[in-house]
Homo-oligomer: A and B are copies of this chain.
Amino acid sequence: MSNSSVQFASGEFVPLEMHKVRVVQKLNLLPVEERVKSIEGAGCNTFLLQNKDVFLDMLTDSGTNAMSDQQVAAMSVADDAYAGSASYEKLYNTIVDILGTEYFLPVHQGRAAEHIISQAFVTKDGVVPMNFHFTTTKAHIEYAGGSIDELFTDEALKIKSNHPFKGNMDIDKLKAKIATVGKENVPYVRMEAGTNLIGGQPFSIANMREVREVCDTNDLLIVLDISLIAENIYFIKTREEEFKDADIKTIIRAMCDLADVIYFSGRKVSCTRGGGIATKSKEHYLRMRDMVPLFEGFLTYGGMSVREIEAMAVGLQEILDMNMISQSPQFIKYLVDDLDAAGIPVVTPAGGLGAHLDAKQFLPHVPQLEYSAGALAVALYIISGIRGMERGTISMDRDADGNDVASEVELLRLAMPRRVFTLSQVKYVADRVKWLYKNRDLVGGLEFYDEPKVLRFFVGRLKPNS
**Chain B residues within 8 Å of A46, by CB:** 83
Q: Is the CB of B68 within 8 A of A23?
A: yes
Contact of A23 among B9, B22, B63, B307 (CB under 8 A): B22
Interface centre among A18, A75, A422, by most B CB within 10 Å?
A: A422
**Chain B residues within 8 Å of A59, by CB:** 81-83
Q: Is the CB of B47 within 8 A of A83?
A: yes
Task: State whether the Cβ of A320 lies closer than 8 Å to any Cβ in chain B.
Answer: no
Contact of A57 among B14, B81, B299 (CB under 8 A): B81
Distance between A335 CB and nearest chain B CB, rounded to angstroms: 13
Q: Is the CB of B424 within 8 A of A66?
A: no
Q: Is the CB of B111 within 8 A of A49?
A: no
A window 46-92: CB within 8 A of B: 46-54, 56-57, 59-60, 62-70, 72-77, 79-86, 89
Contact of A77 among B48, B73, B108, B419 (CB under 8 A): B73
Q: Is the CB of B50 within 8 A of A89?
A: yes
With CB as the reference atom, state the residue of chain B lying closest to A419.
Answer: B24
Q: Is the CB of A85 within 8 A of B51?
A: yes
With CB as the reference atom, state the residue of chain B lying closest to A16.
Answer: B424
Give the interface segment out of A212-220, A289-297, A404-412: A289-297
CB-CB contacts of A107-139 with B at 8 A, as 1s and 0s?
Answer: 011011001000000000000000000001001
Q: Is the CB of B66 within 8 A of A24?
A: yes
Task: State whether the Cβ of A455 lies closer than 8 Å to any Cβ in chain B.
Answer: yes
Copy count, this protein chain? 4
Q: Is the CB of A51 within 8 A of B84?
A: yes
Q: Is the CB of A60 within 8 A of B74?
A: no
Task: State whether the Cβ of A303 lies closer than 8 Å to any Cβ in chain B.
Answer: yes
* Docked complex Cα distance between A373 and B63 (Å): 43
Q: Is the CB of B18 within 8 A of A26?
A: yes
Q: Is the CB of B21 within 8 A of A421?
A: yes
Q: Is the CB of A143 within 8 A of B294?
A: yes
**Chain B residues within 8 Å of A47, by CB:** 83-84, 298
**Chain B residues within 8 Å of A26, by CB:** 18-19, 68, 70, 321, 323-324
CB-CB contacts of A289-320 with B at 8 A, as 1s and 0s?
Answer: 01001111111010111111000000000000
Q: Is the CB of B24 within 8 A of A22?
A: yes
Distance between A398 CB and nearest chain B CB, rounded to angstroms: 16
* Docked complex Cα distance between A15 and B26 (Å): 16
**Chain B residues within 8 Å of A51, by CB:** 79, 81, 83-86
* Docked complex Cα distance between A112 and B292 (Å): 11
Task: State whether the Cβ of A209 lies closer than 8 Å to any Cβ in chain B.
Answer: no
**Chain B residues within 8 Å of A109, by CB:** 108, 296-297, 303
* Docked complex Cα distance between A421 and B434 (Å): 26
Contact of A29 among B18, B29, B298 (CB under 8 A): B18
Task: State whether the Cβ of A254 lies closer than 8 Å to any Cβ in chain B.
Answer: no
Q: Is the CB of A431 within 8 A of B8?
A: yes
Given A59-B83, A83-B48, A86-B51, A69 contacting B25 (CB threshold 8 A): yes
Given A20-B25, A67-B23, A431-B10, A84 contacting B48 (CB threshold 8 A): yes
Q: Is the CB of A19 within 8 A of B25?
A: yes
With CB as the reference atom, state the residue of chain B lying closest to A108.
Answer: B108
Distance between A201 CB and nearest chain B CB, rounded to angstroms: 21
Given A14-B424, A27-B18, A89-B50, A112 contacting B76 (CB threshold 8 A): no
With CB as the reference atom, state the residue of chain B lying closest to A274.
Answer: B305
Q: Is the CB of A49 within 8 A of B84?
A: yes
Distance between A299 CB and nearest chain B CB, rounded to angstroms: 7
Q: Is the CB of A50 within 8 A of B17?
A: no
**Chain B residues within 8 Å of A115, by CB:** 295
- 5 CB-based A-B contacts, threshold 8 Å: A22-B23, A22-B25, A50-B86, A62-B82, A63-B306
Sample of 5 more A-B contacts, CB < 8 Å, known A111-B295, A136-B294: A9-B432, A19-B24, A24-B419, A26-B321, A108-B296
Closest 3 CB pairs of A and B: A51-B81, A73-B76, A23-B23
